[in-house]
Chain A
Amino acid sequence: MTGPAPTGTPFLQVRDLTVSFRTDDGVVHAVDKLSFSVERGRTLGIVGESGSGKSVTSLAIMGLHRRGRRVGIDGEIRLDGEDLVTAAAERVRGLRGRRMAMIFQDPLSSMHPQFTVGEQIVEAYRVHNRVSRATARRRATELLELVGIPEPARRLDDYPHQFSGGMRQRAMIAMAVSCNPELLIADEPTTALDVTVQAQILDLMRELQKEFNSAIIIITHDLGVVAEISDDILVMYAGQAMEHGPVEEVFAHAEHPYTWGLLQSITRLDRQLETTLRTIPGSPPSLINVPPGCPFHPRCTYRELAGPAASTVRPPLTETSPGHRVACHLPVEQRRRLLREEVTPTL
């Protein structure tokens, strides 16, 4: 374990990350000049709809895109100061699983069906640790116990299909944290789970973070999950960052019309019933033909207020209050007035 990064330098820093794929239909601009950072001990929630680039971003950080003629990755991904974009594949492989690890949505398809859960954890652990099988197996038992699986020594010899959905996700987490990673990326970790089990898994992630002081990125489409577990939130649309900031600040004072749209269109238990839900008109764009200017402008209720720049100039992500950054052409004062007068009364 290396010591903490010098103060002031975030553990993970992503700067101008761009990921594109060449396909027969054209170039897919999956992630476009994305910048954010995560500190140790903090959780960043990345929210967005399908095609917003949230999963592509996480795979890029983990070095899981096959580099080649068809995949282009630009910008910087600095893990504890070291750039992963320019690093050799072997180097990134050495970091993966040890200093950074990932949890996927569906543990059934991300675990090998023909090996026992124990064998898979032992294998993952021994890749990075020169220990005997017996030692690794003891470690695996400890890990299953840590993630709350009853009778861990016995369950080690079960196959993934013998575990329930929630237990598989726990086992997946056990494997991911086996080397005490400093960065943990969870891509929709609870989407496939029932709501009561989701609550258990979110609790577990919180506890593990306290224990290991890791930086966590959680990718989700569920604003409730983000509110529950994150310190910061990054709202993505069409591969770009729309809004980024501390979670309490963004939920209380959202400034981007897309964030407003998301908050308005969800049903929530803590509000009075409404007859009709507000919606965001249209659907997300194709990433081959991302609208010019602000990518959200064709669906934005307030695009007229922004003038012609909306469809020609890409708005920069600008800080409007400490740590709170927004990419929108509308003047700050106008956004705040709209939020106060038109949006908040509907939330």
Chain B
Amino acid sequence: MTDNLTKDVPSPPAGEGAVPAQATDAPATDAPATGAVPAATGAVPAATAEAGGATRGRPAGGGDELVRVTDLTKLFPVRRGTLVRRGAGAVRAVDGVGFAIDRGTTLGLVGESGSGKSTTGRLISRLLEPTSGSVVFDGRDISHLSTRELRPLRRDIQMIFQDPYSSLNPRHTIGAIVAAPLRIQKQVPRGGVRNRVRELLELVGLNPEHYNRYPNEFSGGQRQRIGIARALATRPKLIIADEPVSALDVSIRAQIINLLDGLRTDFGLTYLFIAHDLSMVRHLSDRVAVMYLGQIIELADRTDLFEGALHPYTHALLSAVPIPDPTSHRRRERIRLRDEVPSPLDPPPACRFHPRCWKAQELCRTEAPPLLERTPGHQVACHFPEKRDVV
């Protein structure tokens, strides 16, 4: 891979090499919302085994960004009444979220139900259009592209879904399923579609001879592999994986996690990994963002987050994860939150976590804490951040 420095490029078509096109262009300078994007750095991670590791630990915004999200907001209007429809406010599913993902790295997005993590994923893949704010992908603002304008982009951003049962069409053979993105993108790979599909099936650990079988002949883990093969077909740059292993059995989860991890290093892929399982997120991510009621409350490199979390909600999440060691609960500090996550239709004012926070003071009830960088690369939105040993 070489670094063709180009400015203001739309996503170029994928190359025809044996691996997904990656790192063909450095960050462009048309990211108006940020102003923080450096001019051509020339530092493009190679598509080698070191790609993931080399960029690890780099402070946010200083690297070679593939994705930058700024002040991203999505409102879903809620209507009440069956005869006379009237507006009844809006769910602020995602509310002013900002982060960047460097090429070849994985950002883990964690949070409980209603935190807005899946909506964030769908906004970046542009399955949803943001209400405000921007998504810059590969140097280009894609926030409000039309369906037609988005089509070439779909090559570069692919999704892997949670449920391998509902995300594969039962009437299509797996050959047709994996080839679908190529067909839609009108891409004819060298050697033909059929060969490419066989390659992909082999790549994800399936028997290429099973080309003509239907999804019902495969187990959950195998179906998830089919979904991954489909996502890789167009050689994307970014893969958004939304709870990709939650529906799988324990012994199968590890297989899929290893597969995702291997593909990332082999092809220099960039992942947005959305999950509620913190230990899984720790395993796969370089950086981790914790969301609560539509906002990011803490964002840090993996080690900083899991060993030096500063936000009380992150402490509570970590403390609640059951540890597979029967002797551990005698040693661990238990933080038990009151109640449950409030409705995103009517989130608490100021700090959204304050009604459940044991540290909340008057300030937390009156003023929303901004997401501030406390140490390099470690941002937290709390008036009273502090470290605490909870695992």
Cβ contacts under 8 Å, B346 to chain A: none
Identify which of residues 173-187 in chain B touch chain A, using a CB-to-CB cut-off of 8 Å.
none
Q: Return chain B residues, CB-CB under 8 Å to A49.
A: 249-252
Determine the distance from Cα of A262 to Cα of B250 in the docked complex, in whole angstroms. Answer: 7
Whether the pair A278, B325 counts as a contact (CB closer than 8 A) is no
Q: Contact check, A195 vs B317: say whether CB atoms are below 8 A apart.
A: yes
Residues of B within 8 A of A59 (CB): none
Q: Are B249 and A50 neighbours in the complex by a CB distance under 8 Å?
A: yes
Give the nearest-CB partner of A230 in chain B. B326
Tell whether B324 is near chain A: CB-to-CB under 8 Å.
yes
Closest to A224 in B: B322
Residue of A nearest to B245 (CB): A267
Interface residues of B in 313-337 (CB under 8 A from A): 316-329, 334, 336-337
Taking CB atoms, residues of chain B closer than 8 Å to A346 are none
Bound-state Cα–Cα, A65 to B112, Å = 35
Which chain A residues numbered 19 to 36 have a C-beta less than 8 Å away from chain B? Answer: none
Determine whether the beta carbon of B261 is less than 8 Å from that of A276: yes
**Does residue A284 face the partner (Cβ distance < 8 Å to B)?**
yes
Contacts of A278 in B (CB 8 A): 254
Instruction: Return chain A residues, CB-CB under 8 Å to B220.
Output: 50
Q: Which residues of A contact B252 (CB under 8 A)?
A: 49, 283
Q: Closest CB-CB distance, B258 to chain A, in whole Å? A: 6
**B324 contacts A268, C-beta separation under 8 Å:** yes
User: Which residues of chain A come closer than 8 Å to B328, judged between CB atoms?
Assistant: 227, 270
CA distance A116 to B319 in the complex (A): 34
Q: Is B371 on the interface with A (CB-CB < 8 A)?
A: no
Specify which chain B residues have a CB less than 8 angstroms from the CB of A275 in the assembled complex.
261
Q: Does B40 contact A (CB under 8 A)?
A: no
- B79 on interface, CB distance cutoff 8 Å: no
Contact: A283 with B320, CB < 8 Å?
no
Chain A residue at minimal CB-CB distance from B259: A279
**Chain A 168-222 residues near chain B, CB threshold 8 A:** 194-200, 202-203, 221-222
Q: Tell me the complex Cα distance, A87–B373, Å.
A: 67
Evaluate contact between A195 and B276: CB separation under 8 angstroms: yes
Q: Which B residue sits closest to A51, measured CB to CB?
A: B249
A224→B324 contact, CB < 8 A = yes
In the bound complex, how far is the Cα of B245 from the Cα of A266, in angstroms?
12
Q: How large is the interface on A (under 10, 10 to 19, 20 to 34, 35 or more residues)?
A: 35 or more
Query: Quick one: which of B321, B334, B341 has the most chain A CB within 10 A?
Result: B321
A195-B276, A267-B283, A273-B283 known; A224-B340 Cβ under 8 A: no
User: In the assembled complex, which residues on chain B have CB atoms less than 8 Å from the CB atom of A320?
Assistant: none
Q: Which residues of A contact B316 (CB under 8 A)?
A: 196
Residue-wise interface mask of A (239-267) relative to B, using a CB-CB cutoff of 8 A (1 in contact, 0 not): 00000000110010000000001110111
Tell me, in angstroms, the Cα distance from A197 to B324 when the chains sit together: 18
Q: Which of B113, B282, B327 contacts A267 (CB 8 A)?
A: B282
Smallest CB-CB separation from B219: which chain A residue? A283
Instruction: Tell which of B254, B316, B320 has the most Cβ of chain A within 10 Å.
Output: B254
Q: Check B340–A228 contact: CB distance below 8 A.
A: no
Q: Given contacts A195-B112, A227-B322, A270-B323, are A166 and B391 in contact (CB under 8 A)?
A: no
Q: Is B306 at the interface (CB under 8 A from chain A)?
A: yes
B336, A200: Cβ atoms under 8 Å? Answer: yes
Check if A167 is an interface residue, CB within 8 A of chain B.
yes
Q: Which residues of B (238-268) have their CB < 8 Å from a CB of A? A: 249-255, 257-258, 261
Q: Among B219, B253, B282, B341, point to the contact of A269 (Cβ < 8 A).
A: B282
Q: For B261, list chain A residues within 8 Å (CB).
A: 275-276
Can you name the residue of chain A whose Cβ is closest to the Cβ of B265? A275
- Please name the residue on chain B nearest to A202 by beta carbon: B322
Of all chain A residues, the one with the shortest Cβ separation from B323 is A270
Interface status of A280 (Cβ within 8 A of chain B): yes
Query: In the bound complex, what is the Cα–Cα distance between A167 and B220 (angstroms)?
Result: 31
A72 within 8 A of B: no
Q: Mark B333-374, 1 if CB is under 8 A from A, else 0.
A: 010110011000000000000000000000000000000000
In the complex, which residue of chain B has the Cβ closest to the Cβ of A250?
Answer: B326
- Please indicate the chain B residues that have their CB under 8 angstroms from the CB of A279 in the complex: 251, 254-255, 258
A254 to chain B, nearest CB (A): 11
For B324, the chain A residues whose CB sits under 8 A away are 223-224, 226-227, 251, 263, 266, 268
* Complex interface bits, B213-243 against A, C-beta within 8 A gives 1, otherwise 0: 0000001111000000000000000000000
Q: With A265-B254, A268-B279, A270-B328 known to touch, is A196 a contact of B322 (CB < 8 Å)?
A: no
Q: Does residue B278 face the partner (Cβ distance < 8 Å to A)?
A: yes
A338 an interface residue at 8 Å Cβ cutoff? no
Contact in complex: B258, A277 (CB < 8 Å): yes
| Contact (Cβ within 8 A) B336 A262 | no
B280 contacts the other chain (CB 8 A): yes
Q: Is the CB of A228 within 8 A of B323?
A: yes
Report chain A residues within 8 Å CB of B221. 283
Q: Which residues of A contact B280 (CB under 8 A)?
A: 267
Quote the shortest CB–CB distance from A204 to chain B (angstroms).
11
* A247 and B112 within 8 A (CB): no
**Closest approach, in angstroms, between the C-beta of B355 and any C-beta of chain A?**
13
What A residues does B322 contact at CB under 8 A?
A: 198-199, 202, 222, 224-225, 227-228
Closest A residue to B255 using CB positions = A279
Q: With CB as the reference atom, state the residue of chain A lying closest to B111.
A: A194
Please give, as numbers and ranges, the residues of chain A lying within 8 Å of B251 by CB-CB distance.
49, 261-262, 265, 279-280, 283-284
- Residues 145-176 of chain A, each 1 if its beta carbon lies under 8 Å from chain B, else 0: 00000000000000000001111000000000
Pick from A165, A228, A251: contact of B329, CB below 8 A: A228
A346 → chain B, closest Cβ, in Å?
12
Q: Which residues of A contact B340 (CB under 8 A)?
A: 164-167, 194, 196-197
Q: How far is the CB of B54 from chain A (nearest CB, A)?
A: 15
Q: Which residues in chain B, 65-98, are within 8 Å of chain A measured between CB atoms?
A: none
How far is the CB of B330 from the nearest CB of chain A, in Å? 11
> Min CB distance, B87 to chain A, in Å?
22
How far is it, in angstroms, between the C-alpha of A247 and the C-alpha of B325 when the chains are bound? Answer: 9
- For residues 89 through 127 of chain B, which have their beta carbon under 8 Å from a beta carbon of chain A? 112-113
- CB of A116 to closest CB in B, whole Å: 20
Q: Which residues of B contact A (CB under 8 A)?
A: 112-113, 219-222, 249-255, 257-258, 261, 276-280, 282-283, 306, 316-329, 334, 336-337, 340-341, 391
A-B contact pairs, 11 of them (CB 8 A): A165-B113, A194-B112, A194-B341, A195-B320, A200-B337, A227-B324, A266-B279, A270-B323, A270-B328, A277-B283, A279-B258
Can you list the 6 inter-chain pairs with the closest CB atoms, starting with the nearest? A224-B322, A265-B254, A194-B112, A49-B249, A280-B251, A199-B320
Knowing that A277-B257, A278-B254 touch, tell me 15 more A-B residue pairs with CB under 8 angstroms: A164-B340, A194-B340, A195-B320, A196-B320, A203-B336, A223-B250, A224-B322, A227-B323, A228-B329, A266-B253, A267-B283, A277-B283, A283-B222, A283-B249, A283-B251
